[in-house]
Each structure stands twice: as C-alpha cells, then as structure tokens.
Amino acid sequence: MPTIYTEVEVDVDLSDFDTDDLVEELENRGSLPVESNGDAAEIVEAIWLKRRLGKDYHTDIDMLIYRVLGKIV
C-alpha cells in the first residue's frame, strides 16, 4: 500500500485556546515564562529591593539566569 502525504493549511487564533491549555503546552515543552516560575519571581523581587536600597545584586542576577535558563554565567 503506498504512503500518501498531504499538506493542510489551518487558520488558528491563540484566542481559540484556554489559558490553562496554553500553560499546559508550555509545561510539556519545558518552556514556561518567568511569571510562572515562582522562584524566579522571588529572585526578581529580591533584586528589585536590593537595587532600590543601593545594594549589590549581581549574585541574585546570576541565580535568576540559572533558574530561568539553566545555564551558569
């Protein structure tokens, strides 16, 4: 039996999807945005507070990069 390939063009709008469905898809891909990463949000707040107080926050930035990207600077 021969194999047949075909292409189909589908017009899809992101508003057609529920937010929970989109978050689930990103979780499955391992690509959640920073807002969904509780640890990252806490680190960003710590950076913000240190910056407001004029304290050094470079270590926190390195930690944030590692938590979000999984890469060491």
* Cα radius of gyration (the chain): 20
Q: Is residue 3 a part of any domain in this protein? A: no
Domain range holding 28? Answer: 14-69
CB of 51 within 8 A of CB of 57? yes
pLDDT score of 7: 94
Contact 67, 40 (CB under 8 A): yes
Q: Please, are residues 36 and 23 in contact by the beta-carbon 8 Å criterion?
A: yes
Count of structural domains within the chain: 1
Contact by Cβ (8 Å): 14, 22: yes
Q: Is residue 8 part of a domain?
A: no
* Across 12-41, average pLDDT: 78
Question: Does any domain span residue 42?
Answer: yes
Question: Which of 41, 46, 49, 47 shows the shortest CA–CA distance to 67?
Answer: 41
pTM of the model: 0.48
In a domain, 58, yes or no: yes
Average pLDDT, whole number, for the chain?
85
pLDDT digits (tens, 9 = 90+) for 29-62: 877 665 555 678 888 999 999 999 999 999 999 9
* 22 within domain boundaries: yes
